[in-house]
């Protein structure tokens, strides 16, 4: 096979390849009664030692699922040590937390509940709050068929709620399904997103959340403080500044950006990532087009939040 024919076949194969981004299903099976109970638990400040903090305090599910502050505040108004990521579509992440220390949503819940800065609780204290509440006793008895509520029931209900926090029908999902067209600038942004290598890390159903990558691949990324990166777990020097790739879904709603919340706008985030992780400098027009593409990734509000 001559080189020209090989090149033509390669281009044809690439052009016909499956899209590297998958749409979120329009419908996903959830346990509605458990999810509604989990929603109540998620928003209840009694599951913090000073009754000040709920899961919602750091993950506003009505406004992107993240925190608009650089770091969240927990019990006693103590500051966290890293920017709170979104919980929307967290069900699609391969692991949880920036440093991927939790294998799933069940393990993830233990983190903030037991953290002395966040909720400062333990299983026994959570169970005490639950079993002293007539309302919770009735609801858990109806759903779980138990007389005594256990911490494991508490976790299970919150996970059911978090599994219901998926956001289908983003404009880009509709485009992938052939239901709508993108504008020329949005298409150009998606093309640039792929051509410049953003797609290497931000792909799949969650457009991220499925790998660990170093922040600062081409140029060292320095911050004035230390953040709990992957090296905190593995103790490996090579894992410094390695974090779970964040999802780009609903990214227009979750400023500020990055683990250190250093980028305050999408434009700034795109410029920073292109410089440190792609080794290039994008033009103002290219950044604008990519941001227009990113704006097509905002999906519907999770239906669990709209139901009563």
Decide if 118 is catalytic.
yes
Q: Where are the beta strands (DSSP E) in the chain?
A: 212-214, 242-244
In sign, the C-alpha dihedral spanning 138, 141, 147, 151 is: negative
**3-class DSSP state for residue 204?**
strand
What is the spatial distance between Cα 39 and Cα 163, in angstroms, rounded to a whole number?
11
* 64 contacts 88 by C-beta, under 8 angstroms: yes
Pairwise CA distance, residues 259 & 109, whole Å: 19
Q: What is the CA radius of gyration of the chain?
A: 21
Task: Give residue 62's Cα distance to chain centre.
Answer: 14
Among candidate residues 19, 29, 107, 118, the one labeled active-site is 118
| Residue 107 near residue 158, CB atoms below 8 Å | no
> For 60, which DSSP code?
-
Distance set, CA 158 to CA 37, 186, 187, 265 (Å): 8, 36, 38, 31
Rounded Cα gap, residues 308 and 303, in angstroms: 10
Q: Of 86, 89, 282, 300, which Cα lies nearest the Cα of 189?
A: 282
End-to-end CA distance of the chain: 64
Active site residues: 118
């Amino acid at each position: 096979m001559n080189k020209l024919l090989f090149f033509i076949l390669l281009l044809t194969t690439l052009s016909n390849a499956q899209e590297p981004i998958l749409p979120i299903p329009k419908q996903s099976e959830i346990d509605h009664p458990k999810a509604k109970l989990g929603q109540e638990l998620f928003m209840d400040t009694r599951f913090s030692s000073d009754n000040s903090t709920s899961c919602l305090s750091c993950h506003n599910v009505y406004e992107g699922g993240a925190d608009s502050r650089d770091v969240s505040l927990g019990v006693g108004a103590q500051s966290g040590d890293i920017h709170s990521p979104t919980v929307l579509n967290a069900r699609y992440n391969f692991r949880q937390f920036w440093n991927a220390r939790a294998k799933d949503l069940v393990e993830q819940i233990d983190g903030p509940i037991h953290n002395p800065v966040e909720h400062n609780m333990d299983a026994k204290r959570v169970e005490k709050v639950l079993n002293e509440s007539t309302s919770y006793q009735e609801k858990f008895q109806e759903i779980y068929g138990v007389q005594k509520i256990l911490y494991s029931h508490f976790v299970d209900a919150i996970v059911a709620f978090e599994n219901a926090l998926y956001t289908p029908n983003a404009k880009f999902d509709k485009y992938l399904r052939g239901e709508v067209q993108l504008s020329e600038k949005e298409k150009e942004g998606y093309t640039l997103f792929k051509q410049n290598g953003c797609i290497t890390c931000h792909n799949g159903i969650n457009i991220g959340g499925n790998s660990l990558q170093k922040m600062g691949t081409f140029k060292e990324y320095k911050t004035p403080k230390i953040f709990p990166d992957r090296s905190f777990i593995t103790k490996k020097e090579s894992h410094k500044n390695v974090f779970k790739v964040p999802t780009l879904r609903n990214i227009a709603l979750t400023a500020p950006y990055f683990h250190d919340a250093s980028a305050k706008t999408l434009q700034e985030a795109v410029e920073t990532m292109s410089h440190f992780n792609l080794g290039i400098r994008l033009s103002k027009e290219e950044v604008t087009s990519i941001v227009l593409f990113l704006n097509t990734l905002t999906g519907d509000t999770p239906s669990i939040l709209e139901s009563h």
